[in-house]
Structures are given as C-alpha cells and as structure tokens.
Amino acid sequence: MAVYSWSRHRTKHFGSVAVPLAHIELQSSDNSFLAFAVQIDSGAVVSLLRRSVADLLGIDLESGRQVGLSSVGGAQTKAYVHELVTRFSPDMVLTIPYAIADTERVPNLLGRLGVFDELQVDFDASVRETKIAPPWLNEKEHRLWTFMLDTCEHVEQRWDQLKLGEPARKATCQLYGKASRLYVAAAGLVKLGRPHEAPILIRALFEVAAQFEYLMQNPEVRGQQFVDYSHVSLYHQAMEMVRDPKGFVGRTVAASPLRGKGEPWRKKNYERVRGQFAKGKKGREWENWYCMTTRDLAGKIGWENEYNMWYRGFSKWVHSDPSQTRHLVYRGPSVFYFCDHYLARMLLRIAKVGKIVLTAEQYEGLTKLSEEFV
C-alpha cells in the first residue's frame, strides 16, 4: 500500500484547498526510475504529463499516438499517448497510459485509466491522505463476494415467508444479523489491508454459527429460550452499571428518569425466567442462553473438531498467547474461506428450516461452501 498526504494549494477564488497528490516513479528509456509528484484527478479519463517529462524520461514525444484533450473551458491540447511503467511502491508496479502534452501549461495528473480500474484508491478526508493499494479481491473472490451478497439479499427479502413461530423467528433474525455484520466487518479488514487482525471476528462468527445450528435443531423451544435469556442478560448488565456508576454511561443510567419505570420491568422479567438458566446449587445463572460451554455446544452439534482447530486456535490470538503475539495467524483471502463457510451454513439452515426457496445456483453454491472445511 502507498500512502500520500494531501498538499494545500492556494487558489484564486476559493482560497487554500487540499489537493490529493501521489508521489510516483516513472521508468525512463535507460530503465532507471525518476520520481514525480502528480495530482490525483478522478475526473480525468487518462493521466496527463507535461512535455518536459518526456525529455526527462528520454522519450520521443511524437512517437506516441496523437490525441486531442479538451479542458473544462473547451480548449484543445495536443498530446501523445505513451505506456509508462509506474511504480507506486516496491511491490506495486503497473504499466499505465499517459497523455504527454506538447506544452508545459498543463498539470501532471493521475487519471482513471489504468489506475482506478486496476487499483484501490481511497480518499480519506479525516486524515487528509490518499491510500493506493492492490485490489482487495481478485476475480474469483469478487464473484464469490457478489454471490454471497446476492444470496443474503434473496433470503432477507423473504423474512416474512419464514415458517417459524415468533420467538424462533426473532432468534433467527438476531443471530443471522450478527453473522452478516461480522462477515462485512471481516471484509472491511481485508479491504484495509489488515486481514491478520480478523481472527477475533472469525472466532465470533464460528460461535454465532454454532449457536445458530443448535437453535435450528429445535427452533421453537430453543428460540423461546434465546428470547427469555435476553431478560437475564439485560438485567445483569443494567445492575452492573447502576451498582458502581463511575463511568459516563453508568452515571447516566443511574440518574435517568426512566429508571423508575424500566428497572422494575427488567427485574420482573428476570425473576420470571431466571430459573431455567440456573447453574449449580448456588443459584447463579449460566453466562449464555444455551446453558453449556462453547466447547460442549460444539460437541452437541457435532462441530468439536472445528472447535479444536479454529475456535481454540483463534482464542490464543484473541488472548495474546505468546505463540500468537509476534506472528500473523494467516494472510489474505483465507479470511473469506472461513467466513463464507459459516455464513453459507447458516443460509442453508434458514432455507431448510424456514422453508425459503433458493435458486438451484444458490443451493449448489452454498452447499459447496458449507462442505469446504467439513
């Protein structure tokens, strides 16, 4: 990835404005590389260079294909197109078409052709910089990403067709919603060039997929259990905040005028359901709605091998185990292999148990993805 800070230029009518620049290197006729600063212009079809650049690179200007370039005001500039090897960083080198003008009265611009259609260009106004990186998806990954998004949309548009009771429907919606958000978050890390930070998201996706599989094995009973446990979680969460209100959130909740109405309601619902989540003789509740450890849950649904391989391994990363603090767990596209696998399992389960019809292509694609790590 190449990162370029914006530069401030003074204009005649608008004062000082931020201008996104890129510091690139162009290959000369003797195969050496010369550095140039170019303005990044997403409105320019092709990159543009002044005539002097051809002289510096040792290029015969008029040997290129002649074109006429029009400015905003309609003026024509004669230029010649040359394919130039361009280096953005040591590992990011492309051959890009440039229109080299026969005049010095033009800016050096980096346009769209050969750049925006080949690289990922991110204008970040928050930190006043532009990031240029290789595409975060190759063609195969792009097809898979599009397939998953289209299939998710297909299922989501048919929520009202789910053949499930209300508690099961609510649990299905919430667990699937969590999984889809984790999926997109993992994609965001890959796009930012940080795939090695994804284990925490993949571990969470494994766990939500395991819970979902457990739910789908008896959706009506376990859906009610899922909904009931929310009262236990919300009660304890609220009590912890008002019991020791040192932080802003705790002080706000403790002083809220709604507390007098909300607290009795939470306690009433908590007392109503707490008995089914009791753990041992001391009356403490389980810390999850399925009333077992994650490992026992994985064994219950037949995912124990996957738990041992992925969940335990990624837990070491999450908890900064000495074996994981200095090395990347994995790199690159494998993020999607994990995420696609577990989201595909959930989508198949929704379609099967909820009676949502998939197309033949969707069913075959999801089946293939769901079996990849089995």
pLDDT digits (tens, 9 = 90+) for 77-118: 899 999 999 999 998 999 999 999 999 989 999 999 999 999
| Choice among 36-50, 101-115, 236-250 with the minimum mean pLDDT | 236-250
Q: What is the pLDDT of residue 71?
A: 65
Q: What is the pLDDT of residue 318?
A: 80
The two tokens of residue 1 are 């990835």
Q: Find, among 175, 273, 170, the residue nearest to 220 by Cα.
A: 170
Q: Quote the mean pLDDT of the chain.
A: 88
| Choice among 2-16, 86-100, 117-131, 274-288 with the minimum mean pLDDT | 274-288
Q: 12 in helix, strand or coil?
A: coil
Q: Find, among 350, 301, 373, the residue nearest to 151 by Cα.
A: 350
| Choice among 69-73, 198-202, 329-333 with the minimum mean pLDDT | 329-333
pLDDT of 327 higher than 90: no
Q: Do the bridges between strand 109-110 and strand 33-40 make them parallel or antiparallel, or are there none, so unpaired?
A: parallel
The two tokens of residue 29 are 């006729």
**For range 212-225, the mean pLDDT:** 96
**For range 146-156, the mean pLDDT:** 95
| Choice among 194-198, 248-252, 275-279, 322-326 with the minimum mean pLDDT | 322-326
The two tokens of residue 211 are 């819970």
Task: Give CA 185 to chain center in angstroms.
Answer: 4
Q: Are 173 and 227 within 8 A, CB to CB? A: no
Q: Where are the domains of the chain?
A: 2-133, 139-370
Per DSSP, the residues of 66-117 read: EEEEE-TT--EEEEEEEEEEEEEETTEEEEEEEEEESSSSS--EE-STTTTT
Q: What is the pLDDT of residue 74?
A: 61
Q: Do the bridges between strand 284-285 and strand 2-5 make them parallel or antiparallel, or are there none, so unpaired?
A: unpaired
pLDDT of 247 higher than 60: yes
Report helix, strand and coil shares of the chain as percent, to nearest 5: 50, 20, 30
Choosing among 3.30.590.20, 3.40.190.10, 2.40.70.10, 1.10.472.10, the CATH entry for 2-133 is 2.40.70.10
Confidence of residue 153 (pLDDT cuts 50, 70, 90): very high
Q: What is the pLDDT of residue 332?
A: 46
Count CB neighbours of 234 within 10 A. Answer: 14
State the DSSP H helix or E strand holding residue 145, giving kind and residue range, or none if neither. Answer: helix 139-156
Q: Do the bridges between strand 92-101 and strand 47-49 make them parallel or antiparallel, or are there none, so unpaired?
A: parallel
| Choice among 179-183, 238-242, 346-350 with the minimum mean pLDDT | 238-242
Q: Output the furthest CA–CA distance in the chain (Å, rounded).
A: 90
pLDDT of 281 higher than 90: no
Q: Find, among 364, 347, 313, 309, the residue nearest to 212 by Cα.
A: 347
Within the chain, how many helices (H) and strands (E) appear? 12, 14
Confidence of residue 280 (pLDDT cuts 50, 70, 90): confident
Q: Find, among 36, 3, 24, the residue nearest to 129 by Cα.
A: 3
Residue 349, classified by CB atoms within 10 Å of its CB into exposed (0-12), middle (13-18) or buried (19+), is buried
The two tokens of residue 254 are 């403790």
The two tokens of residue 271 are 């007392």
**For range 308-333, the mean pLDDT:** 70
| Choice among 19-33, 70-84, 248-262 with the minimum mean pLDDT | 248-262
Q: Are 314 and 197 within 8 A, CB to CB? A: no
